[in-house]
Every structure is written in C-alpha cells, then in structure tokens.
Amino acid sequence: MTFIDLPAARRAAGSVRLPGSKSISNRLLLLAAVARGTTELLGLLEADDTRVMIDALRQLGVGFEGSSVQGFTVHGIGGTFPVKQADLFLGNAGTAFRPLTAALALAGGEYRLHGVARMHERPIPCARSARRSTMKPTTDIHRSAFTRPASRWATRCVSVAMSRLSS
C-alpha cells in the first residue's frame, strides 16, 4: 500500500468538480460546516441524504445560503458545533448518519440521532466494535445503537478506531 504524508496546511483554496454522489456530497457538507469561514459548494447531489444532512447541520448551528440548483454558501463554525443538545432525524440517510456520529462524538454535547424504522435495523460497524470492546452484549446493537445519545457510544467508537490505528 502506498502512503503519502501531507504536511498540515493553514489554508486551502481552489475548486474541484466531483461526480454526483450522496457520500461525497455529505462529506463535503460536513467539512464545510466545521471549517472556518465560508465555503461555496456547487453541484451537490440533490437527494434525500443530502437534504437531511443540511437540515441536521442547520439544527447544529451551521448557516447555509442558496439551494442545490444554484449552489450553497456554507458558513463554517470553525470547530465544534455551537448547539450542544439536539434531536436529529436523519430518515434513511446512512451517508449522513455515519459521519455525523463521529463528528458529534467530539462535539461535547448530548445528541440523539434517529431515523426511519429501516434505519434502526442497519448496523453501524464501529458501534458494534465499541460494544464488543466493553464486553457488553451485542444482541440488540442494531436498534439500541440508534437510540442512544451519540456522545455516549460514539465516543467509544472513536476510541476503538483510534486504538486500532495505534496498534
């Protein structure tokens, strides 16, 4: 496997044209949300997943202007989310649920992430790993993981992932 070591940058500028993708669109939205300053996003995929991500980020205190047709200006928060308590309905958007879980685990608040009934049946692999690492039963991880406050179990998720990286 090839490894490229990139030095830390203080600022990034430029433009990149990417194909329509729920995953890429939601990752860009989250990165723009936590960045300092404003970010212009053009060509985001117009889908339920991106709509619920934008709604969730707005609930967390991120400012948006524009639309998917004309593009969005995202007013980044420059760090952690200003809203420290939120109940976020994410529908069936796994591409919003997974990255938000990690970001909110580090935000220092109390957040509830939930979705449609089918979403509660879908596993989040790192939540399952976190449960295993704390020796708790995993029999109901699909349902219970989605109704627990994110800051409780997602922090374990991040910890498990980081310990695996360091070993």
Single-letter residue type at 78: G
Mean pLDDT of 35-53: 92
Query: pLDDT tens digits for 46-90?
Result: 899 999 999 999 999 999 999 877 889 999 999 889 999 999 999
- Can you spell out the DSSP letters for 75-89? EEESSS-S--EEEEE
Q: What is the SS3 assignment for 142? A: helix
pLDDT tens sequence across 131-147: 444 333 333 333 333 33
Q: What's the whole-model pTM score?
A: 0.68
**Residue 167 to residue 26: CA distance in whole angstroms:** 30
Q: Could you tell me which residues are beta bridge partners of residue 66?
A: 72
Look at residue 139 and give its three-state secondary structure.
coil
Signed CA dihedral, 83, 84, 86, 88: sign only: positive
